[in-house]
Amino acid sequence: MVAPKLVVEGLSISYGGKTVLHDINLEVQENEIFGIIGPANAGKTSFLKAINRMSDFESDMQVSGTIRFNGRDIRTLRNLYAYRSRIGVVFPLPVGLPLTIYENVALAPRLRGVKHRDELDEMVERCLKRAALWEEVKDRLHVLGSLLSGGQQQRLTIARALSQEPELLMLDEFSIAVDPVTTMRIEDVLKELKREITIILVTNLVQQARRLADRTAFFLEGKCVEIAETEALFTGTVQDQRTRDYIEGRFG
Amino acid sequence: MFEATARNRRAQRVQKLYAILFGLMTALLILPVLIILGTLIYKGGSMISIDFLFTEPTNGMTEGGIFPALLGTVWLVSVALLASVPLGVAAAIYLSEYAPDNWLTRAINLAIINLAGVPSIVHALFGVGAFVIFFGFGTSILAASLTLAIMTLPVVIVSTKESLQAVPQAFRVACWNMGATRWQTIRRVVLPNAVSGILTGIILEVSRTTGETAPIMFTGAVFFSPYLPQGIFDQTMALSLHLFVVTTQVPEVPEALPYGVALVLIFLVLLMNSLSIGFRMYLRGKKKW
């Protein structure tokens, strides 16, 4: 069996003494979409922050436990910037940087040191196409990204994440600001991307996890209640009562 | 429906009363500005001419123009800017983007705010001790400008910090998530969007520096100089000090002369302020989020 992409062992996170995540243990396999569902305050977003060590930027956030990426304990990483550049992140609300559409997508390649215009052009086009945005913006690449509509900005954010050429893509409730049709288009993109990269999909849409995720974890109040093959989770073969309640919409 | 009750009517009367009261206060506030400007134009307007601006004072400063003082002010302000802008902007970037939020940073911020409250005459004495005597610059443009620079540093730091902090944190977080270093984030995203505010702050600093008298009168500005300054180690005349001199120190000055000097000085300051306001309006129109 192939070694897992990401191994999380005994991960706990607290903010100034208040624990938001208790003792999480899980593995994410290469080329899988790993879904995380759960109600608000389940610690999903904190979990993502710990993975790319954005926790370093928050002085009151304490992380304990081990996270291994490609087998390497991320606490021992020297070049955190290179590490973060291999992980794309998409937030719930789109963050169009105050740059042109083109520069939004060209930023990550530029940070890597790509300078040639052709190379950048090609990369921008490819990423925008993958994020299902190219057709709408190809004639106005040099207007500000922040002038796009919310849904377009979110696809721009996804294009930007892809421009990092990430090994791991973490989506945090990406579809909140996106209309259903676009959501479906992005979901198709994700299914295709799975062949090349690993995806962690945090979602509050239970059905989205069902459509996309190979395996799904249910987080509740800072604990990982269970992890299972998505189909098993939804058909009820392995199921905790709390998971069943959540999936069937009895709370959360 | 919607008939006013006695209570509604009373609330509306009270509301009108307050609007009038606050409006009056505002009118009271701009009154002095109008009176000052009006008086200056009325009494000194006749002095203003190309000759007045570009010739030297003659006959014991009772006649002639103000060119050496005008040029001296330009020297003083320019050198002060050269010193305070790089220092102030760098310090502001550090405090806003790098410094951890701890007691030391808070103490530094407090110190900067207090520095802004130090009376200008105290800055003057510091300038004499530090630049004129200790560093041995003598009374010179350099010493006077550095004194002005120290005095206006808090303005630059505070306004730069505010412009930096007006850039939404989400932009920084998005960049960091992509693996950008703090500096890459600052250079590519934060600074380009804060530069308007930073420049506005700098222009305001210029206008304040232009009018200061106390900090320069012991450190580099002189009563009268027959020569134009040739470099930063020369002494110079300055508009603000010249105004003080012709108003109080020289006998038999025609009444219009000090008003003319004051008019030039206030015009310079107002020009800077309007530039700053216009600039801000222009850039607000181009705001990117």
Q: B106, B173, B177: best mutation site toward chain A, by most A Cβ within 10 Å?
A: B177
pLDDT reported for residue A238 = 67
Mean pLDDT split into 10-residue runs, chain B, 289 residues: 83 94 94 92 89 85 86 93 94 94 92 90 94 93 95 92 93 92 93 88 88 90 85 90 89 88 91 84 72
Asked if residues B57 and B65 have their Cβ atoms less than 8 Å apart, the reply is yes
**Contact (CB<8Å) B179/A144:** no
| Domains, chain A, ordered by start | 1-86+166-252 (3.40.50.300), 96-165 (no CATH)
Nearest to A146 among B101, B173, B289 (CB): B289
Chains A and B form CB pairs within 8 A to the count of 64
SS3 call for A244: helix
The residue count of chain A comes to 252
In chain A, what percentage of residues exceed pLDDT 70? 98
Which residues, in sequence order, are CB contacts of B233 under 8 Å at separation 6+? B137, B138, B140, B141, B142
ipTM above 0.95? no
Residue A169: is its pLDDT beyond 60? Answer: yes
**Contact (CB<8Å) A111/B179:** yes
pLDDT reported for residue A211 = 92
Q: Please, which residues 20-39 of chain B have a Cβ atom closer than 8 Å to chain A?
A: none
Q: A79, A84, A110, A123: best mutation site toward chain B, by most B Cβ within 10 Å?
A: A84
Quote the minimal CA–CA distance from B52 to chain A in Å. 49
**Contact (CB<8Å) B178/A99:** no
What band does A85 get if pLDDT is binned at 50, 70 and 90?
very high
Nearest to A54 among B176, B188, B189 (CB): B176
pLDDT reported for residue A219 = 92
Residue A185: is its pLDDT beyond 90? Answer: no
Of all residues in chain A, the one with the smallest CA distance to B171 is: A97
The rounded distance, in Å, linking the Cα atoms of A114 and A167 is 18
Closest CA to B178 of A162, A164, A62, A114: A164
Judged by phi (left if over 0) then psi (alpha if -120 to 50, else beta), residue A37 lies in beta
Quote the minimal CA–CA distance from A4 to chain B in Å. 23
pLDDT reported for residue B289 = 61
Q: Please, which residues 21-50 of chain A have a Cβ atom closer than 8 Å to chain B?
A: none
Of all residues in chain A, the one with the smallest CA distance to B180 is: A81
**Contact (CB<8Å) A107/B170:** no
Q: Kindly report the pTM of this predicted structure.
A: 0.83
pLDDT digits 0-9 by tens, B60-94: 777 888 999 999 999 999 999 999 999 999 999 99
**Contact (CB<8Å) A98/B171:** yes
What band does A42 get if pLDDT is binned at 50, 70 and 90?
confident
pLDDT reported for residue B243 = 92
Residue A61: is its pLDDT beyond 80? Answer: yes
**Contact (CB<8Å) A108/B178:** yes
Task: Establish if B184 touches chain A: CB-CB under 8 angstroms.
Answer: yes
pLDDT reported for residue B181 = 92
pLDDT reported for residue A13 = 93
pLDDT reported for residue B205 = 87
Q: Give B-chain residues touching A157 at CB under 8 angstroms.
A: 174
User: CATH for B50-285?
Assistant: 1.10.3720.10
Of all residues in chain B, the one with the smallest CA distance to A54 is: B177
Q: What's the one-letter identity of residue A83?
A: Y
Task: Establish if B180 touches chain A: CB-CB under 8 angstroms.
Answer: yes
pLDDT reported for residue B61 = 78
3-state secondary structure A115-175: CCHHHHHHHHHHHHHHCCCHHHHCCCCCCEHHHCCHHHHHHHHHHHHHHCCCCEEEEECHH
What band does A149 get if pLDDT is binned at 50, 70 and 90?
confident
- Residue B285 to residues A7, A97, A102, B198, B272, Cα–Cα distance (Å): 49, 18, 22, 16, 20
Task: Establish if A82 touches chain B: CB-CB under 8 angstroms.
Answer: yes
Asked if residues A132 and A186 have their Cβ atoms less than 8 Å apart, the reply is yes
What is the bridge-based pairing of β-strands B63-64 and B57-58?
Answer: antiparallel
Task: Establish if A61 touches chain B: CB-CB under 8 angstroms.
Answer: no
What band does A252 get if pLDDT is binned at 50, 70 and 90?
low
pLDDT reported for residue A23 = 92
Instruction: Work out the average pLDDT over A186-215.
Output: 91
Looking at residue A69, the DSSP 8-state letter turns out to be: E
